[in-house]
Copies of this chain bind each other. A is one copy, B any other.
Amino acid sequence: MDDAFKVTPWDVEGMVDYAKLIEEFGTSPLTDELLEKTARLTTSELPIYFRRRFFFSHRDYDKVLEDYENGKGFFLYTGRGPSGPMHIGHIIPFFATKWLQEKFGVNLYVQITDDEKFLFKERLTFDDTKRWAYDNILDIIAVGFDPDKTFIFQDSEFTKIYEMAIPIAKKINYSMAKAVFGFTEQSKIGMIFYPAIQAAPTFFERKRCLIPAAIDQDPYWRLQRDFAESLGYYKTAAIHSKFVPGLMGLEGKMSASKPETAVYLTDDPEEAGKKIWKYALTGGRATAKEQREKGGEPEKCVVFKWFEIFFEPDDKKLMERYHACKSGELLCGQCKRELIERVQAFLKEHQKKRKEAEKKVEKFKYTGELAREQWEKSIPEPLKG
């Protein structure tokens, strides 16, 4: 735990908002105790996503750790809706997931929802979402998952999932689904069925499922928790992350619908640098003079937030940067240039791995150990309904 962060204003401010979400959603805060137990069980230093409370809330993560401790084990499940290119905000939770897989040595299922995105996005064709699926899979593989413990599947290909979704779809009535997804008379019947497809992977193994996801995804899993035990399975567990902000403001999250606010994983590093230079919101003052006098406001600064969430792994250096800004010593231009360097280095490395990923797609989707197991096995017992 890095106590220094708890007293910083942005964290307090952040805490207030996110604490409200914990209350609204009825989730539990990710406590020091749980994080310490995570470190102890993995005999590892926690990654920044945990140290800095990017993941801040959970459901049943305590039980996941107990299951691990007792030798029952657990598995990881996450996903991606392939409606366009992935940006930095999309990939960060995958790095956190990779850490969990590596340290706990567990299986990971990655659902690529080309069906969902086609159904929910009026303008996209099925071909579009299938093409984005391939594209996005490259980015996911580039993160470095274990190819024998990771199964990446596309709903439109791994249609066996339909068979698994049927018993689930007998447990969810329209009224329940509507309450969570806000369906109307105009909603397409494919959209209405989709929650069953989304819940299916939580039953891939007879162990507890842990879903790392942004807090806004929680309601979908609440649905699963309503009926999972009636199918003889566990309620799914989850750890919830905060949002990665876009370049132009700390509010909301990086969004593909506003391309100038996002840095895409396939952006040319040079162009990405220019985008950050041009658009990144800082906590700087009106003039350099004023800033030297009053200091900057890192708690209002996207550049600092990006360092905090992903681009400055060293806690001590992050605090130095914080104080250098506050004291007026470090000006925004310099700080931005340093972020740009980090982002460019990350993009170059990622794009190299992304290229290498082309040769690994087959393994993650079809021929790796876990992939083969999934393609071969039949529907799990209690899902027989």
Residues of A near any B CB (own CB < 8 A): 115, 118-119, 125-127, 156-157, 159-163, 165-175, 177-178, 183-193, 195-196, 379, 383-385
> Given A125-B385, A127-B384, A385-B127, are A174 and B167 also a contact pair (CB < 8 Å)?
no
> Closest approach, in angstroms, between the C-beta of A186 and any C-beta of chain B?
5
- Closest residue of chain B to A164 (Cβ to Cβ) is B159
* A152 CA / B183 CA spacing, docked (Å): 35
* A185 CA / B174 CA spacing, docked (Å): 5
Which B residues touch A383, using CB under 8 A? 126
| Prevailing SS type, chain A contact patch | helix
Which B residues touch A167, using CB under 8 A? 118, 126
Copies of this chain in the oligomer: 2
**24 A–B contacts from the bound complex (CB under 8 Å):** A125-B384, A125-B385, A126-B166, A126-B167, A126-B379, A126-B383, A126-B384, A127-B384, A157-B163, A159-B160, A159-B161, A159-B163, A161-B162, A165-B190, A169-B190, A170-B190, A171-B188, A172-B188, A173-B185, A174-B185, A174-B187, A174-B188, A178-B185, A192-B192
> Closest approach, in angstroms, between the C-beta of A128 and any C-beta of chain B?
9
Closest CB pairs A-B (n = 3): A169-B190, A193-B193, A162-B162
Which B residues touch A174, using CB under 8 A? 174, 183-189, 192
- Closest residue of chain B to A124 (Cβ to Cβ) is B385
> Closest approach, in angstroms, between the C-beta of A31 and any C-beta of chain B?
36
* A115 CA / B383 CA spacing, docked (Å): 13
Which B residues touch A126, using CB under 8 A? 166-167, 379, 383-385
